[in-house]
């Protein structure tokens, strides 16, 4: 099965279904519950969670409804996605989600100065490698000691793809933009170490993806 990674309105993503102003990325519908199962274990019981690259807003709405004691901060550099994020928040009647903000990981300082956790789903393979470095630097800055960074997506391990479908997906990404591609898990962990983020857990997920849990030292 190919990596379940279409994040929203981005090149190569599956078409969204429109529900009023709410956009629906099919992969988000499929993967939101498996990701939530990990978040229930690793996020703090209370505090602020910053989501990077919120896309359509499906994930943050699903997570915030399931984890009401956390305050959620959705963000996306593409401001055209903000209306969909806001529509999902309104549709669910959520009071623990802030309005979406425009956040580019490469721009410092981030508009959110502190968060107890950062969640980033399906971003680093559809961005230049510099975006991963910027994400680690920013997360290291906003997270307190013992704060957690949660990543989801496809990864190579030991320099090898974990499934033929991921190799095909990687080739597709690189045809779209030579700076994109499925990243080496070890390289991501090394980039995190430079900002005192230690790889704590690797969770295999459906559709040849992984969740990486990184803890601020």
pTM of the model: 0.94
**pLDDT tens digits along 89-102:** 999 999 999 999 99
Alpha carbons 154 and 10: distance in angstroms, whole number:
17
Q: Is the pLDDT assigned to residue 108 strictly greater than 60?
A: yes
Taking the alpha carbons of 167, 136, 49, 110 in that order, is the dihedral positive or negative?
negative
Q: In this structure, are strands 148-153 and 183-184 parallel, antiparallel, or unpaired?
A: unpaired
**Class of 17-216 in CATH:** alpha beta
107 contacts: CB under 8 Å, gap ≥ 6: none
| Predicted confidence (pLDDT) per residue in 124-171, tens digit | 999 999 999 999 999 999 999 999 999 999 999 999 999 999 999 999
- Name the strand (E) or helix (H) holding 35: helix 26-42
For the chain, domain boundaries: 17-216
pLDDT classification of 19: cutoffs 50, 70, 90:
confident
Q: Which helix (H) or strand (E) holds 173?
A: helix 164-176
Give the span between the Cα atoms of 143 and 164, in whole angstroms: 36
């Amino acid at each position: 099965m190919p990596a379940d990674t279409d994040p929203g309105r981005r090149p190569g993503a599956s078409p969204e279904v429109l529900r009023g102003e709410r956009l629906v990325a099919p992969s988000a519908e499929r993967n939101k519950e498996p990701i939530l199962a990990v978040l229930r274990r690793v996020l703090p019981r209370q505090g602020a969670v910053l989501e990077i690259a919120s896309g359509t807003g499906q994930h943050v709405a699903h997570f915030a409804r399931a984890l009401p004691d956390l305050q959620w901060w959705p963000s996306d550099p593409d401001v055209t996605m903000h209306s969909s994020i806001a529509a999902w928040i309104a549709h669910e009647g959520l009071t623990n989600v802030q309005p979406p903000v425009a956040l580019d990981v490469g721009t410092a300082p981030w508009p959110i100065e502190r968060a107890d956790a950062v969640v980033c789903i399906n971003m680093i393979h559809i961005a230049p490698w510099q975006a991963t470095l910027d994400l680690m630097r920013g997360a290291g800055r906003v997270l307190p000691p013992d704060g957690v960074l949660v990543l989801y997506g496809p990864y190579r391990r030991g320099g090898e793809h974990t499934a033929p479908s991921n190799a095909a997906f990687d080739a597709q990404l690189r045809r779209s933009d030579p700076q994109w591609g499925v990243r080496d898990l070890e390289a991501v962990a090394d980039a995190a170490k430079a900002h005192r983020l230690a790889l704590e857990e690797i969770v295999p997920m459906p559709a040849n993806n992984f969740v990486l849990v990184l803890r601020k030292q």
